[in-house]
Structure 1
């Protein structure tokens, strides 16, 4: 086991639009605590938003970043049960006693170590097998976000689904749909390399919405919905998931939805979206909004452990910890990368 350092570098938002590496003390665990050495931490789109805003209220001053960690337990207090030095773990950033890790709390995971106070396996931490690559283990948090969107959709085995947006959350949702037995999953995007990744993880079909009529293609892929009060021919698609956050997605769903279809929106829409409720009335479309992961943070871990090779293509770039600031810049540059993960030696 590596020697535990006394200080570490942590990525902090230091001012609006500014990031820095700040040297801080490595926290010391008490009797009920564990110390986790961070081995990998993914970068989320919200990290760029926090940087732009200059932090996360109500926290004042420097704000630590990083909320997608995986690591190894390097110290455990005498009262800790179910966790031992050497355990590989994924972390629930929302269960930290000192605030959400990397999202306004006192700690961020773009650092060498995390202190987990009152540590309980299955609450703040989940032990994973040693063979899971660290960069794949670091997908646990965003994949939990994707799983919640699928749970909110009510998708069931044997149904047909379409996911708009082939970024990390959309791909995670598509994988979750397939792993729960959804019969046919389509992914829609406008970037060829994203659609190629979707096919690599095992979706049934992809649609390039910049060149193809999405509704027409869904009818080809999913067949025609049975006749109902809904006017016009509609695809027999049961579930729609919006992981793109673009207004045309909502318009496409409105034009496509059959009677009884469900739409789950996990994407952040930065502008108001027009929705013709009168026109949708006969569809009885169910719309569910999805945020975070109330129960899914470790629900998704088993899927990652059992199918880590299918999740691995979601990671587009890995950069070492000494290039953490460059990694954040890369992740914030539109079109430059998909999922960037920072790895620690």
Structure 2
């Protein structure tokens, strides 16, 4: 079969690899769609992750169709459409330094257990939308880390795939008001489409002033604070942290799900005096199939997140597009 491999720093190739061997506890999935993540650009630039540098398989956002089922597997049948948990592979995280990747024609799901390392989805869900399951689990974990309640007023910074997924998650959890902040008008339009109550264009609006208008005046030791109770950084820019902490009222929560490439200085006196909670988020310890239920129920809403699709024969173009800043929001590779 053919698979996409990182073959050196800045270099990827589609190569022939051995067909997977299906053992009694395994399931073989024909990949039908696989999203490209921002982390893929990092792996490519590094030449792959140890211990597979120079020959690392790419792809960790898969959806596909079951084509072979080991004799000991239960609850999974040939023809089932499935989403897959990349961190549930015994041979290492799929497409993240493990032995296998999903930007390939087939993926072996070892020790396959439904609800643990794969889950069946209805056949009517488009595969390119199903491939969002993994990044949407990242977004859902970021949301869960901020412990939202219906009474909260939320500001999501960044209307890329994770920010949009977080917006959907907050509204699905019943949050009363969600405002999305970004610099790009088309992304803010998507935020409104997926359920945001309001948007702020940080390029031409005073974010702090608009948050006070939208969420009221906050309770704090110093004036000028917003009634926003939760801030989520899905942008990864120092200005987001600075704006959130400068605007945060007493007891506000700041969740960080975006990757910051450099340290960001913070005013600890402000954090102490206003008892602001800052919480990080990484991966999806329990959310990989929690988000599947909402994805199935509201797939048309999630479909808005996908901006570009490429066939597997165009995978190099897909990678270039996905890793070029500003060229795309969410790129998904589809397979015949």
Is residue 85 from structure 1 mapped to residue 70 from structure 2 by the alignment? Answer: no
In angstroms, what is the RMSD of aligned CA positions? 0.8
> Structure 1: any 5+ residue segments left out of the alignment?
1-7
Distance 2:170 2:272 in 1: 27
| 1:344 equivalent in structure 2 | 335
Instruction: Report the secondary structure of 2:17's partner residue.
Output: strand
TM-score by length of 1: 0.96
How far does the alpha carbon of each residue in 1:214-245 deviate from its partner, in whole angstroms, 9 at most, with x for none?
Answer: 1100011111124x4x2013111110000001
Corresponding residue of 1:5: none
Task: Report the Cα distance in structure 1 between the residues aligned to 2:13 and 2:154, rounded to whole angstroms.
Answer: 42
Question: Residue 197 of structure 1: which of 186, 190, 193 is its match?
Answer: 190
On the 8 A contact 2:86/2:95 being kept in 1, the answer is: yes
**Post-superposition offset of 1:279:** 2.6
Distance 2:120 2:237 in 1: 37
Task: Tell me the equivalent position of 1:271.
Answer: 262
SS of alignment partner, residue 290 of structure 2: coil
- 1:158 deviation in Å? 2.5
- Of the three residues 270, 291, 303, the one matched with 2:282 is 291
Matched residue of 2:304: which SS?
Answer: helix
1:25 matched residue in structure 2: 18
Instruction: Name the counterpart of 2:90.
Output: 97
Between the aligned partners of 2:132 and 2:124, the Cα distance in structure 1 is 15
Distance 1:344 1:171 in 2: 25
Distance 2:237 2:65 in 1: 39
Task: Give per-residue Cα distances to partners, 1:240-273, cap 9 Å, x unaligned.
Answer: 0000010011110111100000000001100111
Equivalent pair of 2:6/2:57 in contact (CA under 8 Å)? yes
Question: 1:239 is matched with which residue?
Answer: 230
Residues 11 and 325 of structure 1 are in contact (CA less than 8 Å); yes or no, is this contact kept in structure 2? no
TM-score (norm. length: structure 2): 0.99
| Secondary structure at the counterpart of residue 315 of structure 2 | helix
| Residue 220 of structure 1: aligned partner | 213
Runs of 4+ off more than 3 Å? none
How far apart, CA to CA, are the structure 1 residues paired with 2:27 and 2:272? 53
Which residue of structure 1 lines up, in the alignment, with residue 153 of structure 2?
A: 160
Q: Deviations over 1:101-123 (max 9, x none)?
A: 00001111000001111110001
- The Cα shift of 1:58 comes to 2.5
Q: Distance in 1 between matches of 2:229 and 2:245?
A: 13
Cα pair 1:143 1:172 within 8 Å, conserved: yes
- Specify the alignment match of 1:10 in structure 2: 3
CA distance in 1, matches of 2:326, 2:224: 35
Tell me, in whole angstroms, the C-alpha distance in 1 between the residues paired with 2:210 and 2:82.
42
1:240, 1:279 → 2: CA distance? Answer: 15
* Structure 2 residue corresponding to 1:69, chosen from 62, 81, 95: 62
CA contact (8 A) 1:163 1:170 kept: yes
The 2-side partners of 1:58 and 1:77 are apart by 28
